Amino acid sequence: MEKTKQFSEKALKDFRLIDLAVAGDQQAYAELMKRYKKAVYHMILKMIRNVDDAEDLTIEAFAKAFKNLHKFKKDYTFSTWLFRIATNNTIDFIRKKKLETMSLNSTFKNDSGESVNIDVEDNNLDPMEVAIKGQKILLVRMFVTKLPPKYQRLVKLRYFDELSYVEIAQELDAPLGTVKAQLHRARELMYDLVKNKKQHI
């Protein structure tokens, strides 16, 4: 018990919530998410500066954390552990994006002596990227079948087919604003499913 003395009251409350959540208390999951959802989202947003992607990655971070909550060791705070999961997941996302768009970037001088950049698109993911991509899809598949059909289609287009918001709007012949609003709602529903994950995994 010596170790727990170094932790703040907030950290100790987190430990109690984790014990309850692992024991099957759904409200404890909801409380943990409520305590850290905003902070995780803002941290991710600082890393990628894209609201839609930040919301997606926040879902993934909590889904991964809750899925592995039984492995959590009280050697450090829950927030430290959660933020590490969120950070690593976001770095994977950034690395994947860079691989797809500008993984080969070289500069040479043309006949006039001016520097010219060449960006060569590389769509080949290395084994690690394939594993990460597969893990994310698996994570979403756990929850997507529980969504209403209207939202299922949106989530599948976004996560499985990896269409942009504009492409989804074109595919569904719907206004971009409607697509964004409905995807936002779908994400909220997925948050609820994550909170109640023991019923679905």
Q: What is the pLDDT at residue 164?
A: 84
Helix axes 165-172, 176-195, angle to 10 degrees: 110
pLDDT for res 123: 45
The per-residue b/e assignment along 73-85, b for 16 or more CB within 10 angstroms, e otherwise, is ebeebbbebbbeb
Whether 3 shows a pLDDT value over 70: the answer reads no
In this prediction, residue 197 has a pLDDT band, given cuts at 50, 70 and 90, of low
3-state secondary structure of 140: helix
Who's near 113: CB < 8 A, 6+ residues apart? none
Over residues 178-192, mean pLDDT = 82
Distance CA 200, CA 58 (A): 19
* 139-176 residue pLDDT tens: 566 667 778 888 888 888 887 777 888 899 998 898 98
HSE (side-chain half, CA atoms, 13 Å) at 137: 12
Catalogue all structural domains in the chain, each as residue range(s) with its CATH number.
Answer: 7-199 (1.10.1740.10)
Average pLDDT over residues 90-115: 57
Helix (H) or strand (E) segment spanning residue 80: helix 78-102
Query: What's the pLDDT band for 40 if we cut at 50, 70, 90?
Result: very high
